Structure 1
Amino acid sequence: MARIAVIGAGMGAMAAAARLAVAGHRVVVYERTETYGGALRRLERDGFAFDTGPGLLTLPAVYRDLFVKTGKEALEDRVELVQVDPAARHVFADGTEVSLPNASRAGVVAALDEALGRGAGARWSDFLVRAREAWDRTRRPLLEEPLWSNWRVLDEKEPYPGVPHKRFLRTRRAVKLHEIGAWELRDPRLAALLADSALAYGVDPGTAPASAAVLPYMEHAFGTWYVRGGIRELARAVYERCLARRVEFVFGAEVTAIVEKDGRAAGVEFADGTSAEADTVVGPGPWRLRGLLPGAELYGAGAVPPEPEDRFPGRVVVCLALRGAREPGAVHRTVVHAADADGDLEKFRRGGVVPELPTVLVDRPDDPALRPDADHESVVLTATVPAATEYDWAAPGAADAFADRMVAAAGRAVPGLGERVLWREVRTPLDTERETGATGGAVPPPALAAPEGVLHPANATAVPGLFAVGGWSHPGGGLPHAGMSGALVAGLVVEGPEFRGSQ
């Protein structure tokens, strides 16, 4: 039985801890804050409750597998999963609206044809067929297997099979997500649907590779799910599974260094000067591991280099406590698209200027657990924004001014929103940084294969006994990816470098 120290209690870390404990190891999780869950936090006040991280779950099979592999109780024995239908309502800049059914291609085709005109549904359906090809080509290396030693093959060819497009006497295929929108979807509203799927993951649709088409495909193929009581309940269930498997948690324990002995990781040191020995250390992303083990060569020559966390965007979340009941027919999620998506994204890229009219996700769960009574409603607004290192969210009035614009945008989706607000709380990338430790409060994107894709460093480092888990390591950010990260780390610790992933 090995002693394993896990730094942080995020979803990937807890997924690894539970699996390692079942394998017979003694696992201790050291978390610098006073709670678990990483970005899956909950704000509670005056009988209202809000998810301040992801609002919905895709690929629930990842967490079903975790519960199957770590005990007799299934995931659905611990939480109630509800398939959201419609998957989302979209409000476009020109006033057009469409509600897309959950995991129903025929329903989506019919809805798009009715709202956007005949042929729109077929173009979107054909796009999803091509997106599935990209998914089939990248699913195992990017989700289910440790990062290949010859990872550069994932950078050599765009896995999305773009349609030939003739332009200026040349025939080209889409290699960027925005080119799919312009050349294949041929409707600014369909292009906005595609762009939103990337933006929701913190991926800039203007620079994202065409392989980011797998993101809307995941939602279409596997559905989007809500956890009754809020997504925070998923974190609670994973935490309780860890406790049931005798994982020990130490909260308020800030790890300041990784102890190295005889060339391998041998424990952790804390801010109060104490230390704990370990045979194996599972740490956070590589960018922060550098600070915990300065001077060490974490990744050998030819490995995927760690990217600075603050080069990726963050999120602003506005929690709204509303007077008045949720109106009949209200949907769980509405996407209010920016009036000038291209212009706002261009500002975004130039020096971290926040968009004037952002795309806003409006989450309105019909869940009595989140409101004091039937005469009130809790609503969460989310927008992707520059990280705190790109924009000064602490400047006087900066957060509130942007929140005002988000509320104004959301007013297109929620009747009488402005008059219904009892109070609100605004959370910026500064809050994300405080809770997760991510530089600037940036949100890690999922791994995407392509010549200009996004790949994260491997879970195994060049330091024996030291592994990295979570969104800043392979396979990147997103709730499903966090669960797979934990599975990969556990496999590598238990089986060694010969581990080749789930079967």
Structure 2
Amino acid sequence: MIGAGMGAMAAAARLAVAGHRVVVYERTETYGGAVRRFERDGFRFDTGPGLLTLPAVYRDLFVKTGKEALEDCVELVQVDPAARHVFSDGTEASLPNASRAGVVAALDEALGARAGERWGDFLVRAREAWERTRRPLLEEPLWPNWQVLASKEPYPSVPHRRLLRTRRAVALHEIGAWELRDPRLRELLDGYALAHGVDPEVAPASAAVLPYLEHAFGTWYVRGGIRELARAVYERCRERRVEFVFGAEVTRILDEDGRAAGVELGGDASRAAGTGGETVAEADVVVGTGPWRLRGLTDRKPYGPGAVEPEAEDRCPGRVVVCLALRGAREPNTAHRTVVHATDGGGDLELFRHGTLPDLPTVVVDRPDDPALRPNGEHESMVLTATVPSAAEYDWAAPGAADAFADRMVTAAERAVPGLRARMLWREVRTPVDTERETGAAGGAVPPPALAAPEGVLHPANTTAIPGLFTAGGWSHPGGGLPHAGMSGALVAGLIVEGPNFRGSQ
């Protein structure tokens, strides 16, 4: 298995339970892929995802791979409110977790003019899009006739009369303009797409499922940080006798009689693997890295005619994460997550057009109430996150580039946290350059989730044209995000154990 990301580990644990001997070769010194932690002076920060949706994916993983349930291994806390939103005009709204009625009431109170009712009606339509796409898009291997998923927009949009014509929304921005109407609701909708690295201006209407997931299934925090989830999955793998070799870079996938037959390791990697100078590890099956990167590991074309081809990873956006060590205690009743929407939403979207940075971006502010993340009660750890161009689109390594943008993020965050700059002891800035180093993703890009629609997002299948070679993780079906990574691991394990007729868990 190439890499110890969340999707790969989810597959490894399931395969080990099924009786396979599994060896994971990871080129870095730790597991988890993008689910990382930064520590300094008693402060701890999640530098990848800060919250978890669809925890059922990982509950299923733990049920299927051992006696201890997920909640026996980590402490899950439902975050409430799900998020506080600070809109461009200064209006604020705190949205309850997993409560459509509560969200409707909160938006009505904050925005007035039937805003909550319109958002609630939108969520009903988003639920229908979710029900139409949930199983074929997330819970089953990518169909051989995958074009069916791109043949029709699953979102049941409302007819809109315009210039003597009746039209229906087929893009997310049209939902905002025609169905939500209030500019702050449009900011709310766009924010969900932006957080997933999806351009709201070109995203299909089916991207409505992104806010629906939060409202329907809730938003969860793992006590100690999301890195604790990666630790629990890693330990479950070890309990199932999965072997991990760190500092071991795979340089080639071996081919024998037309099928994947193992991997070749780099010079230092072979020593890390304890192969006594040998650079070859034989295997019956290889679970690979991102489909785009497979091309550099094999002379054969990984995907045959008619398959979903991998696109260049660096065309997708990345993220800048600013870890703030703060003096002073966290205020009581502070929201865990605050989304500070850009005062110029169009500037945010320029990152998709021209790879340029907004003056004051949309910033997600995470303030966990977790003693494990701070040295004592007189300090606070805070994480700021913004979606940005990848390292292929913007020179994040240029002198001062990262710090200059971090300054803008802090300024934006101060709209929600007054006096933030005066509380700072120090900060750590992480850019797509760091993401590329840690995950191998070209340009430090972050994979978007799969979206079914004519202009949707589909990722290459977990199977390849090379027998015995599979792929797991965010760049494979069904795409990016913690739940999707766990799903990809379940799909890969099912395809290996049950064969090509596997159709997903029932």
Smaller-chain TM-score bracket: over 0.9
Matches within 5 A, 1:10-25: 10-25=5-20
Show the counterpart of 1:479.
482
Matched, 1:136 2:141: no
Equivalent position to 1:310, from 310, 314, 317: 314
* Of 242, 256, 266, the match for 2:251: 256
Offset of residue 328 of structure 1 = 1.4
- Gaps of at least 5 residues in structure 2 are 271-278
Aligned position for 1:502: 505
Q: Secondary structure in 2 aligned to 1:7? A: coil
Question: Within 5 Å, which residues of 2 pair with 1:92-107?
Answer: 92-107=87-102
Aligned equivalents of 2:383 and 2:348: distance in 1?
22
Cα deviations across residues 216-240 of structure 1 (Å, max 9, x unaligned)? 0000000000000000000000000
Q: Which moved more, 1:335-344 or 1:80-89?
A: 335-344
Residue 155, structure 1, aligned to residue 158, structure 2? no
Q: Distance in 2 between the 1:344 and 1:288 partners? A: 29
SS, match of residue 364 in structure 2: strand
Q: Corresponding residue for 1:293?
A: 298
Match of 1:198 in 2: 193
Deviation at 1:467, TM superposition (A): 0.2
- What is the rounded CA distance, in whole Å, between the counterparts of 2:358 and 2:316 in structure 1? 15
Note if contact 2:347-2:357 (Cα within 8 Å) is conserved in structure 1. no
Matches within 5 A, 1:104-503: 104-272=99-267, 274-294=279-299, 296-345=300-349, 347-503=350-506
Write the letter of the residue equivalent to 2:69.
Answer: A
Q: Please, which moves more after superposition, 264-273 or 92-101?
A: 264-273
Q: Is the 8 A contact 2:262 2:280 kept in 1?
A: yes
Partner of 2:275: none
The corresponding residue for 1:3 is none
**1:25-49 CA-partner distances (Å, limit 9, x unpaired):** 0000000000000000000000000
SS in 1 for 2:295: helix
Q: Which amino acid letter does the alignment assign opposite residue 436 of structure 1?
A: T
Shift of 1:350: 3.3
Per-residue CA deviation, residues 22-74 of structure 1 (Å, 9 max, x unaligned), is 00000000000000000000000000000000000000000000000000100
- SS of alignment partner, residue 121 of structure 1: helix
Counterpart code for 1:290:
R
Tell me, in whole angstroms, the C-alpha distance in 2 between the residues paired with 1:194 and 1:286.
30
1:212 is aligned with what amino acid?
Answer: A
Q: 2 CA distance for matches of 1:324 and 1:402?
A: 25
2:296 maps to a residue whose letter is G
What CA deviation, in whole Å up to 9, does each residue of 1:416-462 have, x standing for no partner?
10100000000000000000000000000000000000000100001
Residue by residue over 1:465-495, the C-alpha shift from the partner in whole angstroms, topping out at 9 and shown as x without a partner, is 0001101110000000000000000000001
**SS of residue in 2 equivalent to 1:82:** strand
Distance (Å, rounded) in 1 between the aligned partners of 2:146 and 2:101:
37
Question: How much has 1:344 moved relative to structure 2?
Answer: 2.9
SS at match of 1:179: helix
Amino acid at match of 2:443: G
How many correspondences in the alignment? Answer: 496
Structure 2: which amino acid aligns with 1:286? P
CA distance in 1, matches of 2:347, 2:386: 16
Residue 381 of structure 1 aligns to a residue in which SS? strand
- Aligned letter for 1:434? R
Distance 1:162 1:353 in 2: 32
**Counterpart of 2:64?**
69
> What letter is aligned with 2:430?
R
Question: Which stretch shows the higher mean deviation, 272-281 or 232-241?
Answer: 272-281
Structural mapping, 1:43-54, within 5 Å:
43-54=38-49
RMSD over equivalenced CA pairs, Å: 0.7
- CA positional deviation for 1:351: 2.6
Aligned 8 A contact 2:317 2:352 in 1: no
Offset at residue 349 of structure 1 (A): 2.9
Is contact 2:347–2:359 with CA below 8 Å preserved after alignment?
A: no
State the secondary structure of the residue aligned to 1:259.
strand
Could you state the TM-score of these two structures normalised by the residue count of structure 2?
0.97
Match of residue 276 from structure 2: none
Q: Distance in 1 between matches of 2:203 and 2:353?
A: 16
Using the alignment, how far apart are the partners of 1:252 and 1:114 within structure 2?
54
Distance in structure 2 (CA, Å) of the matches to 1:422 and 1:153 = 54
Distance 2:468 2:452 in 1: 28
Q: How many angstroms apart in 2 are the aligned matches of 1:479 and 1:201?
A: 11
* Preserved contact between residue 13 and residue 242 of structure 2 (Cα < 8 Å): yes
Give the residue type in structure 1 aligned to 2:176: G
Is the 2:24–2:242 contact (alpha carbons within 8 Å) kept by the matching residues of 1?
A: yes
Aligned residue for 1:83? Answer: 78
1:291 aligned partner, one-letter code: G
CA contact (8 A) 2:37 2:46 kept: yes
Inter-partner Cα distance in structure 2 for 1:114 and 1:69: 44
Provide the secondary structure at the position in 1 that maps to 2:403: helix
The one-letter amino acid paired with 1:184 is: E
Quick check: 2:288–2:470 contact (8 Å CA) kept in 1? yes
What are the superposed Cα offsets for residues 113-169 of structure 1, whole Å, 9 maximum, x if unpaired? 010003111100000000001000000011100000110011110000110111111
Q: Which runs of 4+ in 1 moved over 6 A?
A: none
Partner SS for 2:325: strand
Shift of 1:415: 2.9
SS at match of 2:146: coil
SS at structure 1 position matched to 2:500 = coil
In the alignment, the residues of structure 1 paired with residue 472 and residue 484 of structure 2 have an alpha-carbon distance, to the nearest angstrom, of 10
What is the percentage of aligned positions where both structures have the same residue?
A: 83
The more displaced of 245-254 and 116-125 is 116-125
Q: Distance in 2 between matches of 1:214 and 1:350?
A: 24
- Which secondary structure does the structure 1 equivalent of 2:426 belong to? strand
Alpha-carbon deviation of 1:207?
Answer: 1.2
Distance 2:468 2:109 in 1: 57
| Matches of 1:150 and 1:177, distance apart in 2 | 25
